[in-house]
Amino acid sequence: MATIIEKLCKIVEKSAVITEKDVMEPYLHDETPGLKGYAEAVVLPSSTDEVSQIMELANRELIAITPRGGGTGLSGGAVPQGGIVLSLEKLNRILDIDVVNSVAVVEPGVITGTLREEAEKLTLFYPPDPASLDSCTIGGNIAEDAGGAQTLKYGTTKNYVLGLEVVLPTGEVIFTGGKLRKNATGYELMHIFIGSEGTLGVVTKAILKLIPAPKYRVDLLIPFTEFENLSRTVLDILHKHGILPAALEFMESKAIKASEQHTGEKLPFPEAKALLLVELDGNDSDLLAKQYEVIGEAALNNDAIDVLVAEDERRRADLWRARRVISEALKSTGEVAHEDVVVPRGEIPGLLKYIEQLESTHGLPIAVYGHIGDGNLHVNILKHDIPDDVWQQRLPALVHALYSKVVSVGGKISGEHGIGLAKRQYLSMSVSPEEITLMRNMKKMLDPNNILNPGKVL
Ligand SMILES: Cc1cc2nc3c(=O)[nH]c(=O)nc-3n(C[C@H](O)[C@H](O)[C@H](O)COP(=O)(O)OP(=O)(O)OC[C@H]3O[C@@H](n4cnc5c(N)ncnc54)[C@H](O)[C@@H]3O)c2cc1C
């Protein structure tokens, strides 16, 4: 390995190769509870050419490379299993915001929230908004096809990628797509890399679609004493009343309590079993007012306790902070198994009922929150003070039962966090053998020596 480190130091400057154990430590895990990896070195390239030379070297010397963005992943994709961590943190420039073509040209290490802020200064909008947006990167978002609260109206990251520069595992650099709203010229190669969890290529540049920023936003916080009434309200808003909010988020009481303890701030309606957070956006404030009247009425018709309307910026920010810290807050309560299931929206009432049954039949507390409008729920199984042997015996049975239910209603085991290391053993429950064979063949074609993020996904 010493000679590899020497060669790396010839590709990047010496200070961009880390081998000290304590300095490497933060690069050995992501935000997935309980996962930690190991590596021989961390390298921080500053250009596409350096990434390309590193990949060539790794391919020649058969060294595993684990790409890394912000390290906020929740399936272990950036957790190294030996070899070298390739951190893209120095490739963090917004190269251009092209207003005429409404696109941003960015390096992969740009923090998602920073791009949103810079676009907004020009009255443009980059919609993908993972709750981790203050620390996750565009490269990681592309690799995971990240979603977020506003996926309901605006779609996931893939809907905003127009062009990609990618370094292949063998070191060649390709550029696919462009500043184009459409492109039917040959196979759409770009989409092979989006959602490939850093296993097929390293994204070194991206052209991202921007859209006009909505002028007005209003949020509603609606408390319920029954999941069923909340689910019915979600379906009524979307289907009976034909309103498409920017976000429809679900928070169940254990998730709310954890959030309150974490922020030290109480949310209203302590008697609620669950809260529905609705965001409406648009350019017509009168229309938004009409829409929230309709939504409020629909909620009260479904026995909501009350409806709170938050129009001012501070109140809205408080509500979203409470929602965004839930993942971190639950982790701070002790060991957590974090699931990210997605079902067709119409199946949500049945799934919520099933999760309540799982909690009592398996005797493990479950905190649920997530993007209910997308049919995507984050199901967190909490260990609390349950003895290790009981936890280890009950947890796999509960997870298996949850996945079986999800698959039986046409769902998938991950909606947005990916398979990575954490869910790899369950992939075949959710994807057919034929699809897995095709995935393996694609991996073999692009990465014949299996050096790019080996052991992830497949
Ligand atoms: C509090 C919290 C809230 C979250 N909320 C959401 C949410 O609402 N929606 C959502 O979708 N996710 C969410 N996540 C998960 C996570 O933030 C996303 O998966 C995000 O896209 C990861 O980005 P990252 O830069 O941190 O990537 P990392 O964790 O560093 O890496 C993720 C994967 O991307 C690969 N990768 C990174 N950069 C590149 C690159 N340049 N080229 C190729 N591969 C690369 C890595 O190898 C790895 O497989 C949340 C996580 C946390 C901790």
DSSP assignment string, 295-317: HHHHHHHTT-S--EEE-SHHHHH
Residues 126, 179 share a domain: yes
Give the CA distances from residue 425 to residues 96, 229, 392, 414, 456, in Å, rounded to whole numbers and listed in that order: 41, 35, 16, 13, 10
The verdict on 181 and 260 lying in the same domain is no
In a domain, 68, yes or no: no
**Spatial separation of the C-alpha atoms in residues 419 and 425, rounded to whole Å:** 9
Ligand 1 lining (C-beta closer than 6 Å): 30-31, 66-74, 77-78, 88, 108, 130-132, 136-137, 139-141, 143-144, 146-148, 197-198, 202-203, 327-328, 416-417, 453
Q: What is the pLDDT at residue 17?
A: 98
Helix (H, G, I), strand (E, B) or coil at 225: coil
Please give the distance, rounded to the nearest whole angstrom, from the Cα atom of residue 329 to the centre of ligand 1: 18
Question: Which atom of ligand 1 has the smallest separation from the CA of 149?
Answer: 8
Burial label for 283, CB within 10 Å (0-12, 13-18, 19+), is exposed
Q: Can you give the residue range of the structural domain that contains 193?
A: 94-212
CB 237 within 8 A of CB 277: no
Residues 209 and 99: beta-carbon distance below 8 Å: no
- Cα of 132 vs centre of ligand 1, distance in Å, is 8
Please state the domain count of the chain.
2
- DSSP H stretches of helix in 16-75: 21-24, 48-61
Give the span between the Cα atoms of 199 and 165, in whole angstroms: 15
The residue to mutate among 136, 339, 447, 452, having the most atoms of ligand 1 within 8 angstroms of its beta carbon, is 136
Give the Cα separation of 90 and 107 in Å (integer).
9
191 and 238 in a single domain? The answer is no
SS3 186: coil
- Say if residue 182 is in the same domain as residue 242: no
The CA distance from 180 to 159, in Å, is 13
Which phi and psi angles does 42 have, rounded to 5°? -120, 130
Looking at residue 118, what DSSP letter applies? H
Q: How far is ligand 1, taken at its centre, from the CA of residue 205, in Å?
A: 16
Domain match, 206 and 245 both: no
- Mark which of 265, 300, 327 sits at the end of a domain: 327
CATH code, domain carrying 244: 3.30.70.2190
How many Å apart are CA 206 and CA 178, to the nearest integer?
A: 9
| Nearest-angstrom CA–CA distance, 223 and 79 | 38
Number of residues in the chain: 458
Contacts by 61-66, CB closer than 8 A, 24 or more apart: 61/4, 62/449, 62/451, 63/4, 63/451, 64/451, 64/453, 64/454, 65/169, 65/202, 65/451, 65/452, 65/453, 66/37, 66/39, 66/198, 66/453
Contact of 156 with 128, CB cutoff 8 Å: yes
Q: Are residues 175 and 223 in the same domain?
A: no
Q: Is 163 contained in some domain?
A: yes
The last residue of a domain, from among 212, 241, 268: 212
Tell me, yes or no, whether 458 lies in a domain.
no
Q: Is residue 228 part of a domain?
A: yes
Q: Which two tokens mark 339?
A: 């699931």
Instruction: Indicate which atom in ligand 1 lies nearest the CA of residue 416.
Output: 11
Query: Which parts of the chain sit beneath pLDDT 70?
Result: none
Q: State the pLDDT at residue 2.
A: 87
- Looking from the CA of residue 453, the nearest atom of ligand 1 is 47
For ligand 1, mutation pick of 28, 68, 321, 374 (most atoms within 8 Å of CB): 68
What is the rounded distance in angstroms from the CA atom of residue 34 to the CA atom of residue 403? 20
Q: Residues 299, 234: one domain?
A: yes
- Indicate which residue's Cα is closest to atom 19 of ligand 1: 73
Taking CA atoms only, the protein residue closest to ligand 1 atom 21 is 141
Asked whether the beta carbons of 115 and 125 are under 8 A apart, the reply is no
DSSP letter assigned to residue 30: -
**Distance of alpha carbon 296 from alpha carbon 301, whole angstroms:** 9
Q: Which amino acid is at 327?
A: S
Question: Looking at the domain assignment, is residue 225 inside a domain?
Answer: yes
* DSSP for 70-91, written as a single string: SS--SSSTT--BSSEEEE-TT-
**Which pLDDT score, from 0 to 100, does residue 447 have?**
98
DSSP three-state, residue 391: helix
- The number of the ligand 1 atom at minimal distance from the alpha carbon of 143 is 34
Residues 189 and 296 in one domain: no
CATH of the domain at 157: 3.30.465.10
- Which of 74, 157, 196 for a ligand 1 pocket mutation test, highest count of atoms within 8 Å of Cβ? 74
Report the DSSP pairing between strands 161-167 and 376-382.
unpaired
Specify whether the CB–CB gap between 53 and 171 falls below 8 A: yes
Do 200 and 249 fall into the same domain? Answer: no
Q: Is 35 part of any domain? A: no
312 burial level (CB within 10 Å; 0-12, 13-18, 19+): exposed
Q: Which of 79, 132, 324, 423 to mutate to test the pocket of ligand 1 (most atoms within 8 A of CB)?
A: 132
What residue's CA is closest to ligand 1, atom 23?
140
332 belongs to a structural domain: no
> Could you say which of 293, 327, 361 is where a domain stops?
327
Start-to-end CA span in the chain (Å): 27
Index of the ligand 1 atom closest to the CA of residue 73: 29
CA gap 88, 107 in Å, rounded: 9
**Do both 177 and 287 map to the same domain?**
no
pTM of the model: 0.97
Residue 397 falls within a domain, yes or no?
Answer: no
pLDDT score for 267 = 96
